Structure 1
Amino acid sequence: MKIAVMIFFVLFLVFSSGASAYESDQYTNRTQDISDSLDLLDGAVNKAIQDILVRKNAPRTKSRIAKAIYFEIGGLYWADKIERWAAKSPEVEKYDQTRRDSVYKGMPFWATRVNFIFGVGRSFRVNGVMVGSDKFGHFVSQGYKYYRRELRGEPREKLLRKGWFAERWIYGELTTGLFSNADLVANYEGWRFYQSLFEDNVVEGKTAILMLDGDTYAQQRPFSFADHINDYWDEALNPSYAVPSLNKRLRKAIKALCPEYHDSPDFYTSSDDTLLWARYENLGLKDSRQNQFVAICDQ
């Protein structure tokens, strides 16, 4: 009975919140040689921006342009449009993973929760980084929510706290057993994307993506995920905090992958770890670097 109630509660939170129902697995298949989908994903975002700007009644304010982009490639449902497109498109090469054959395989519902029901989402290589499909939903939708709150005058500290709260209680720890530090990074980088539409030097050394031409906006430079995706989007390099019932099982599963780590350590570590931790720590990351391959396999 308790398990049934928990299942109902978890599903209610997932679908009522618009959260992605899928976590992803960046622990397995790391050395697989697949093509980088950066250009394809960049193209999808730039096409969306262009389509919005050439509409007969194109939006003419920051808030309306940001909202239009959100609805064009994001959305209200549990998987954003760009996330679903990337997962289904035959052009976007995926790692050889299935929903059920993952690092979480064989773990009980009360440890993995949503992952037990839905399995894991697909992972791609983008800008040289192994990235789960769910991160694009966080980038577009949660980034938009951060930006909308900023336009309403909400202080940075308050809107970051709301993102942390959502990861703790809605999108992550409560529903999946995982507090995803990488989700918070993708949220934040999505916020920077919306800012960079209109502000110079959000991406250091680059102008805003859009410029005001009379009373309308025009695109003056292309968007690229390369300005936002780094190793801290990868949940093996930037591990999630796992609840105790899941953590002991997850560490055991990582330990079983140590032979692969020792064969090809460069695929399992980040030379930018110290720099990236310093950059993003103030988002409220829960330090789980003890679950990095280097920490578990080199003991």
Structure 2
Amino acid sequence: MKTSNIIRVFLCAALLSNSVVGFAFETDQYNLPPEPLADIGDEVSQYTEENLREAVSKLNEEIEFRQKCLENNVEKNKKNKCNSTEKERVKLKYLRSEEAIVKAVFGKLGAGIPPFTSSEVWMNSHLFTGQPARYKTDYGNSIFALNPFNYLTISPTVNLYGNEFGTDKIAHLYQQGFTYYQKYNRGLAAGMTADKASEKVIQWGQMTERTFYGTLVSGVYSNADLCANFAGMKFYQGLTREIKIGSTTRPAILILKNGFWILNENADLKHILLKPFISNHLNEALNPSKFVSNFGFRSFVRRSVKKRSCQQWLNSNFNLTKADLENLTRNLKNWYGEDYGFSESENFVTIANTCFD
């Protein structure tokens, strides 16, 4: 048996033995699509809006029902499903809280067994108007050719608002972003400052990338995943609050009016619901990951990029210089001025340090 085949067998065994710990989806933006991908940003935003509206409608139905129980002084019985007056008041207070509406939206977009989500399933199966909408490099050309387990779970690349990234980032945005949101709020409730609560959340995210969402399972520590998690937290915070994204103030998407949730008429959903959270931070060729050196994995990735990807990038981005690419990656180390947990490495595989030497 050839040495390369022996290495692959051992690597597969190591990764499969870790699969009981967690399950990670990887992606490959080093290999560019053979033809430009259609921009599906508006269509994904529309999907997000539709699910948002459904969550609001369902929550408002329950608010209306509980309110009628109170107004009519209906006593609890098996038929009407009303509770005692005190319990109905408590329930109504909760239904009108930020926690309730955010959880309802999460239920439509981020629910599922980690790392699977309804939104990522939709991203991977929906017939988008624009085509081609997705691209997955073939096994032989992938940076994961040495690692069949990773290739089997690789997420296809999509293009949203001119930014290319794997569909797994949508799962991180809507699922892990909600976990960040919850942990951040728990930190505040425990008496932490906003900065300290954010720091704790970021540390938790870094731990997941070292373990069950990253290195321990796949040999890949993804900074892009961490940024998607952080952006997702901001998405959920921004549902009912005004938030700052860089120098821009984004209005709340939802407001409570006369006891019911409604969409903020001053919020231009097409442009501010999803688009502000999509950027090159999610692209793993531009925002580099850390690859383990075990079994020659990192060296293989670098050789693969140099052999197959560099010419693609140089042909498609002939105006970009090494300095341009280095500056682009440098600017992705924070999210519009905020720390999201970017981890440095002297061994990054970037287009700049691989294709220009």
The code of the aligned residue for 2:109 comes to I
**Is 2:31–2:137's contact at 8 Å kept on the other side of the alignment?**
no
1:208 is matched with 252
Q: How many aligned residue pairs are there? A: 289
1:84 aligned residue: 121
**CA distance in 2: counterparts of 1:237 and 1:51, whole angstroms:** 35
Gaps of 5+ in 2: 1-8, 64-94, 189-196
Report the CA distance shift for 1:60/1:121 in structure 2 as closer, same or farther (over 3 A): same
Q: How does 1:1-299 map to 2 (within 5 A)?
A: 6-14=14-22, 19=23, 21-30=24-33, 32-55=35-58, 56-57=61-62, 59-77=95-113, 78-91=115-128, 93-97=132-136, 100-108=139-147, 114-116=149-151, 118-154=152-188, 155-203=197-245, 204-220=248-264, 221=267, 222=269, 223-244=272-293, 245-256=296-307, 257-265=309-317, 269=325, 272-279=328-335, 282-288=339-345, 290-299=348-357
SS of residue matched to 1:52? helix
- What amino acid is aligned across from residue 122 of structure 2 in structure 1? W
Task: Using the TM superposition, give the Cα deviation of residue 177 of structure 1 relative to its aligned residue in structure 2, in angstroms.
Answer: 0.5
Aligned residues of 1:25 and 1:132 also touching (Cα < 8 A): yes
> Structure 1: where are the runs of 5+ without partners?
none
Displacement of 1:52 in angstroms is 1.1
Cα distance in 2, alignment partners of residues 255 and 26 from structure 1 = 14
Q: TM-score, normalised by structure 1?
A: 0.87
Q: Tell me how far apart the structure 2 counterparts of residues 4 and 132 of structure 1 sit (CA, whole Å).
A: 23
Query: What SS class does the counterpart of residue 29 from structure 1 fall into?
Result: coil
Partners of 1:33 and 1:3 lie apart in 2 by 34
- Name the aligned partner's letter for residue 26 of structure 1: Q
- How has the CA–CA distance of structure 1 residues 270 and 207 changed in structure 2, closer, same or farther, with 3 Å as cutoff? farther
2:332 partner SS: helix
1:7 Cα deviation (Å)? Answer: 4.5
Structure 1, residues 123-152: CA drift from partner, whole Å, max 9, x if none? 100010111010011000111011111222
State the alpha-carbon separation in 1 of the partners of residues 302 and 280 from structure 2. 20
Deviates most, 50-59 or 38-47 = 50-59
Identity of aligned residues (%): 24
> 1: distance between equivalents of 2:283 and 2:180?
21
Q: Deviations over 1:94-142 (max 9, x none)?
A: 3432563552353046xxxx405x2412110001011101001100011
Over the aligned positions, Cα root-mean-square deviation in angstroms equals 2.6
- TM-score scaled to structure 2, two decimals? 0.74
CA distance in 2, matches of 1:35, 1:182: 22
- Indicate how the Cα distance of structure 1 residues 264 and 158 shifts in structure 2: closer, same or farther if over 3 A, else same: same
Which structure: larger Rg? 2
Contact kept, 8 Å, 1:100 with 1:119, in 2: the verdict is no
Q: Which has the larger displacement, 191-200 or 148-157?
A: 148-157
